[in-house]
Chains A and B, each alone.
Chain A
């Protein structure tokens, strides 16, 4: 999103 970038894909 414009606020968060997740770098990876339990």
Chain B
């Protein structure tokens, strides 16, 4: 299977099952138009190819181009077969290695689009006791098998509303990790309101990743991210984020925004982040009931696609001027990305990854919290539904009807199970709008690579004798 498209003046072809990415001239692109119907090649081109293209190219050019394509075919880099379903069949339960700890089911904001029912996940406002947080750490250690690297996200609600328990939980995990031959990586997601110098210093010392919520320009952010009395939060949080990021060193962080129908010109928000001095940026489409005014609907896709293209060109232009900033959804590693097994498994929701509530209830991920149909167990009574875990383990790209023949399957890995459930009522039924958005982002991300390769910022592969970063 191949996926070919034109974008930004480039003719791009992704060979899906090898992962090879080719930039083609017009003749090669036009020949592939003919070849992709059968996905096979013979050493000599079929006469029909010459007949079809004789008005555009001379015979010698067609033959020469065909030879170049045939060389790719012979080397397994074009129309390579799908050998992966056998590995999908081996997908069974894996150790739990990642956990979202909902340390707070309370929040000091009332963001209109909050998937967590404005902080309490519909379960009443409460904070996680230290005893429950310690049991969560014990649970992930006990269920992680031989995995060494364990990840814990402090999430909510607003985690800073229960910051003492965050600190005590980290201290507890650090005190026992060596004994169990584990290494914890911590992430915290915050709306920033309660940040102060002490918390900033702690986060920059102890948290491997800090995710800082901000939607962009002041008028965009303050329209939907409001306090209980309806006031915006931009002026309060931006200086705090700037201080935190200034002390972050080389540790990960993201300025993480949500775009809605109200700001489909979200490139302006990305550029605003840049103007504020931030480099690690993410603005993501809202996940919400399609009936709401601000939701992104299928009919909005052409406008969103146009904006993603605009953002891609903006990023290319910035990089060529030496201004580097990173957009999360355009990050793609064409050379040293994850193994095919990981690509089949995806995020690990419900299998390698679980979420825990202040009451100790266990769910497949943070987006399933509060859905009683998907409650997997409880830390206090020791229950854990391994049959549900097995079901999530088998939810890979080859068990999802719309995914197994999709060109993007090794990059989106079957999409988000929670989105699938929310929109389609079935974790295995992909949500069409989310799919189209993901595919557009991938096309833009690959196009950025092509543009930077042309400019020498990303050296193209030169096969056996290549000494560039790509090999």
Partner-B contacts on A (CB < 8 A): 1-10
Contact = CB atoms under 8 A, between A and B. Distances in A.
Interface stretch (B153-161, B274-282, B458-466): B458-466
A6 B76 contact: no
B21 A6 contact: yes
B28 A7 contact: no
A10 B22 contact: no
Contact of A5 (B76, B460, B466): B460
Interface string B254-279: 00000000000000000000000000
11 contacts: A3-B24, A3-B69, A4-B24, A4-B69, A4-B72, A7-B21, A7-B22, A7-B446, A7-B461, A9-B335, A9-B463
A8 B21 contact: yes
Nearest to B449: A7
A9 B65 CA distance: 21
Interface string B1-26: 00000000000000001111111110
Given A4-B28, A4-B69, A9-B335, 13 more contacts: A2-B25, A3-B25, A4-B72, A5-B22, A6-B72, A7-B22, A7-B23, A7-B450, A8-B335, A8-B461, A10-B80, A10-B83, A10-B340
Contact of B28 (A3, A8, A9, A10): A3
Nearest to B24: A4
B49 interface: no
B142 interface: no
Pairs of residues from A and B, 6 with the lowest C-beta to C-beta distance, nearest first:
A8-B334, A7-B21, A1-B68, A5-B23, A3-B28, A3-B65
B471 interface: yes
A7 B68 contact: no
Interface string B178-197: 00000000000000000000
Contacts of A1: 68
A2 B284 CA distance: 38
B33 interface: no
A3 to B, nearest CB: 5
A1 B27 CA distance: 13
Interface residues of B, number: 34
Contacts of B34: none
A4 B25 contact: yes
B63 to A, nearest CB: 11
Given A1-B68, A2-B25, A7 B18 contact: no
B334 A7 contact: yes
B6 to A, nearest CB: 15
Nearest to B80: A10
Contacts of B463: 9
B470 interface: yes
A10 B86 CA distance: 12
B453 interface: yes
B22 A4 contact: yes
B236 to A, nearest CB: 44
A8 to B, nearest CB: 4
Contacts of A4: 22-25, 28, 68-69, 72
B48 to A, nearest CB: 20
A4 B23 CA distance: 6
A9 B471 contact: yes
A4 to B, nearest CB: 5
A2 B460 CA distance: 13
B408 interface: no
B134 to A, nearest CB: 44
B335 A5 contact: no
A10 B17 CA distance: 7
Contacts of A8: 19-21, 334-335, 461, 470
Nearest to A2: B25
B77 interface: yes
A6 B461 contact: yes
Contacts of B449: 7
A4 B27 CA distance: 10
A6 to B, nearest CB: 5
A7 B446 CA distance: 9
Contacts of B19: 8
Interface in B177-227: none
A7 B20 CA distance: 7
Interface in B433-471: 446, 449-450, 453, 458, 460-461, 463, 466, 470-471
Contacts of A2: 25
